[in-house]
Chains A and B, each alone.
Chain A
Amino acid sequence: MNSEAVAVRDLVKRFGTFTAVDHITFSVRSGEIFGFLGPNGAGKSTTIRMLCGIIIPTSGSGHVLGFDLFTESERIKQSIGYMSQKFSLYLDLTPKENIRFYLGIYRVPPDSWDARMEWVFKATRLESVRDRPTGELPPGWRQRLALGCALLHRPRLLFLDEPTSGVDPLTRRHFWAFIRELTREGVTVFVTTHYMDEAQHCDRIVMINAGQIVAMGQPAEIVRKTLPDRPRADLGDAFVALMRKGRP
């Protein structure tokens, strides 16, 4: 078994003349929570979309769960879960119908559907609204449903694209407790965020700016390296310092 869930080398994505992701190289260890930080437009979503097989990289090389990014995107898709920053389940279906739909799409064997459904409802605490239209649920509840649907087929790697934007602090705390629990079961979590306090939950992080990696390592380590003369600085201070450095 490969101990690296994700490994990319010199990955580039260009849209026309614009280079969204510019030669990035990093790896994600199995079972860790890996944070991907950067300001808006830094290339976070583009990177996550390349790793999920939604868009094809312009150049470079990479593996996700041992499958090649360029040639084995179908196998990657079967083994990963993905939750986008924008809610992307069906608002006119009920949670139960949404779950059933994705059980079918991931070809989870139908005889285990009932068990999976019970597991999801328990994990996401949505049992009481299983037959209500999803559109009537508050944002935090929808987010839980989206997370549940992304886990139906027991993915080994979970991609979360700004999972907690627009969610209240209490729900966010629950969310991170749940994510921590998932990693105990061996799931690797790849998360993008621009909440610095959330980045503290990550085992390791990468910071990118204008498509390039500007820092990599454990959160505390990054703060120490970036601002050695300010012992009380936090990750937010380091982030600001790093983003400024990139500009003339």
Chain B
Amino acid sequence: MSWLRIKELVRKEFIQVFRDRRNRPILVVSPLIQLILFGYVVTTDVRDIRMGVVDHSKTPESRRLLEAFDANPTFRILYRLEDPRALDRLLLRRRVDLGIWIPPGFQATLRKGKSAAVQIIADGSMSNMAGVRIAYASSVVEAYNMRVLQKRYRRKIDFGEIDLRVRTWYNPNLDSQFYYVPGIVAFLVMLLTLLLTSMAVVREKEAGTMEQLIVTPLKPSEMILGKTIPFILIAQAQMILVILFALAWFRIPMKGSAVLLLGATGLFLLSTLGIGLFISTVSRTQQQAVMTNFFFIIPFFMLSGFVFPIANMPFVVRVLTHLDPLRHFLVIIRGVFLKGTGIAVLWPQFLEMAILGGLVFIGAVSRFRKRLD
């Protein structure tokens, strides 16, 4: 192994990466733009619920119920309608998210001391969102019921009830950005290193420069180090840049150790660089390399628990997720960011990632050597 050769390979790779004008935005601007975009787009928070209401009761009771919705910052009553069928049209055109219909006998039924029916119609085409909206609407109705009961009995009802005192730790406001932004950081690092590594090798094959390298005494191990060291450095620099940006822009708390995070990134890169090298051995052109990259990126994304909770997956798929380096890295990055957890808790993830990365890298390297020989 010759350090002179590796040094010159790394130097050459850096010149090429930064000389290519198309690369400059990919390296700095695009991760930040993606972080901002993802940070705002990938959110499951339900903040603004647009309502259409049909009040056929038109009584102080029905008005109080609607006022309860109006007073809540999450709900906005946009349409007051006479015909319940008009609600259907509004839901279809996605002008409203939720419809509420108060039937004519509302006041009379309540005054008789019976339960009065009120209909809530939700757009179920987005099932998750609909569920959250219905739950919010129910809690508004619940609070209204409480007041009706209190008024009726003219005292506070406090007999033997369970009083829940809920506290969410690590993310007190249940802000979904807190959850997603660290994940995006991990995803971006994966995307970049996979693409850059596979491209750096395939580009040499495509341009014919590989042939010239093969007639030199350059060893495959030197070639591999020369092709991976630049991307380890670039990925770590990018990690620091993106984290600083996430802290400053999204005000995500960074509770844990940054050094631990960079260490975890190192282990994570073992897998992504290994896969990048593997892709370069099965692709002849840069186009093929890009397509093959997606073959890996999409399953890694789906199985990582980034958006879809692993706990909800079938058993077999749950076992498969352990082969996804992004899954382990996400646990670490979220733990370090939000909870400030250390190696004492995260060691299983570190271990799995190290084993996975080690195997992938060794496999890719041996395949790479065979191809060069």
Q: Which residues in A have some Cβ–Cβ distance to B below 8 Å? A: 52-54, 56, 74, 77-78, 80, 82, 84, 86-93, 97, 100-107, 110, 149
Taken together as a complex, chains A and B put the C-alpha atoms of A156 and B188 apart, in Å, by: 49
A82-B215, A105-B9 are known contacts; what are 16 more A-B pairs with Cβ within 8 Å?
A: A53-B215, A77-B215, A86-B211, A88-B207, A88-B208, A92-B16, A93-B12, A97-B12, A97-B15, A101-B9, A104-B8, A104-B9, A105-B216, A105-B217, A105-B218, A107-B217
Given contacts A77-B217, A80-B215, contact A90 B5 (CB under 8 A): no
Are A84 and B212 within 8 A (Cβ)? Answer: yes
In the assembled complex, B248 has its CB within 8 A of some CB on chain A? no
Are A88 and B211 within 8 A (Cβ)? Answer: yes
Name B2's closest neighbour in chain A (CB-CB): A107
Contacts of B373 in A (CB 8 A): 56
Question: Interface majority SS on B: helix, strand, loop or mixed?
Answer: helix
Given contacts A54-B214, A102-B216, contact A87 B15 (CB under 8 A): no
Taken together as a complex, chains A and B put the C-alpha atoms of A74 and B4 apart, in Å, by: 17
- Name the contact of A101 in the complex, choosing from B12, B20, B208 (C-beta under 8 A): B12
Contacts of A52 in B (CB 8 A): 215
Could you list 13 A-B pairs, sorted by A, with CB under 8 Å? Answer: A54-B211, A56-B373, A74-B217, A78-B217, A84-B211, A88-B208, A92-B20, A93-B15, A97-B12, A101-B9, A105-B216, A107-B4, A107-B5
Name A161's closest neighbour in chain B (CB-CB): B211
- Say how far A120's CB is from chain B's closest CB, in angstroms: 16
Taken together as a complex, chains A and B put the C-alpha atoms of A104 and B15 apart, in Å, by: 15
Name A146's closest neighbour in chain B (CB-CB): B212
Are B207 and A91 within 8 A (Cβ)? Answer: yes
In the assembled complex, B19 has its CB within 8 A of some CB on chain A? yes
Contacts of B12 in A (CB 8 A): 90, 93, 97, 101
Are B8 and A105 within 8 A (Cβ)? Answer: yes
In the assembled complex, B7 has its CB within 8 A of some CB on chain A? yes
Taken together as a complex, chains A and B put the C-alpha atoms of A80 and B214 apart, in Å, by: 12
In the assembled complex, B30 has its CB within 8 A of some CB on chain A? no
In the assembled complex, B288 has its CB within 8 A of some CB on chain A? no
In the assembled complex, B150 has its CB within 8 A of some CB on chain A? no
- Say how far A89's CB is from chain B's closest CB, in angstroms: 7
Contacts of B5 in A (CB 8 A): 104-105, 107
Of B211, B213, B217, B218, chain A has the most CB atoms within 10 Å of the CB of B217
- Name the contact of A89 in the complex, choosing from B2, B16, B209, B216 (C-beta under 8 A): B209
Taken together as a complex, chains A and B put the C-alpha atoms of A107 and B214 apart, in Å, by: 15
Contacts of A74 in B (CB 8 A): 217, 219
Are B213 and A105 within 8 A (Cβ)? Answer: yes
Taken together as a complex, chains A and B put the C-alpha atoms of A101 and B216 apart, in Å, by: 12
C-beta contact mask, B204-234 vs A, less than 8 Å → 1, else 0? 0001110111111111000000000000000
Taken together as a complex, chains A and B put the C-alpha atoms of A56 and B219 apart, in Å, by: 16
- Say how far A87's CB is from chain B's closest CB, in angstroms: 7
- Say how far B37's CB is from chain A's closest CB, in angstroms: 30
Are B19 and A54 within 8 A (Cβ)? Answer: no
Name A90's closest neighbour in chain B (CB-CB): B209
Contacts of A87 in B (CB 8 A): 208
Contacts of B9 in A (CB 8 A): 101, 104-105
Are B8 and A84 within 8 A (Cβ)? Answer: no
Name B222's closest neighbour in chain A (CB-CB): A105
- Say how far A21's CB is from chain B's closest CB, in angstroms: 18
Of A74, A88, A93, A103, chain B has the most CB atoms within 10 Å of the CB of A88
- Name the contact of B16 in the complex, choosing from A77, A78, A90, A100 (C-beta under 8 A): A90
Contacts of B208 in A (CB 8 A): 84, 86-88
Are A100 and B207 within 8 A (Cβ)? Answer: no
Name B204's closest neighbour in chain A (CB-CB): A90
Taken together as a complex, chains A and B put the C-alpha atoms of A91 and B217 apart, in Å, by: 22
Q: Nearest 3 CB-CB pairs, A to B? A: A104-B8, A88-B212, A82-B215
Contacts of A101 in B (CB 8 A): 8-9, 11-12
- Say how far B60's CB is from chain A's closest CB, in angstroms: 78
Taken together as a complex, chains A and B put the C-alpha atoms of A228 and B96 apart, in Å, by: 98
- Say how far B215's CB is from chain A's closest CB, in angstroms: 4
C-beta contact mask, B89-127 vs A, less than 8 Å → 1, else 0? 000000000000000000000000000000000000000
Given contacts A77-B217, A100-B8, A104-B7, contact A88 B209 (CB under 8 A): yes
Taken together as a complex, chains A and B put the C-alpha atoms of A90 and B19 apart, in Å, by: 12
